[in-house]
């Protein structure tokens, strides 16, 4: 599965840097998840030159930070499983994540 589409890249460019946006209002554009554990990555920004996302990560801890498309693509789990993009995730503000 392709983790990042041209449409998603276009949307990240439209939204741009959300540094000045209140945390509760930050738009989460897409979600990636690990099918063999409970890790999820919610991307709010993307730099196509460095292939680095900024967003919210739920793993051992829940925190905001940077994560790499290259790293997500390189992970291989049991039985050849890989990181997936949630095809049913729709863009939401961070405050709606828990609803």
What single string gives the DSSP state of each residue in 33-87?
A: E-TTSS-EEEEEEEETTTTEEEEEEESSSEEEEEEEHHHHHH-B-GGG-B-EE-T
Residue 67 resides in a domain: yes
CB contact at 8 A, 32 and 43:
yes
The total number of structural domains in the chain stands at 1
Residue 59 resides in a domain: yes
Residue 11 resides in a domain: yes
Residue 99 has pLDDT above 90, yes or no: no
Q: Tokens at residue 79, please?
A: 């039985």
Residue 1 resides in a domain: no
pTM: 0.95
Q: What domain range includes position 48?
A: 6-15+25-93
Residue 56 resides in a domain: yes
Residue 83 resides in a domain: yes
Residue 20 resides in a domain: no
pLDDT grade for 1, boundaries at 50, 70 and 90: confident
């Amino acid at each position: 599965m392709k983790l990042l589409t041209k449409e998603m890249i276009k949307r990240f460019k439209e939204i741009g840097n959300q540094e000045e946006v209140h945390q509760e209002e930050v738009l989460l554009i897409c979600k990636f998840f690990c099918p063999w554990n409970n890790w999820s990555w919610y991307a709010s920004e993307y730099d196509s030159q460095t292939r680095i996302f900024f967003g919210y990560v739920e793993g051992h801890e829940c925190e905001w930070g940077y994560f790499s498309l290259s790293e997500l693509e390189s992970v291989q789990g049991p039985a050849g499983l890989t990181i997936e993009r949630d095809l049913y995730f729709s863009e939401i503000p961070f405050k709606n994540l828990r609803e």
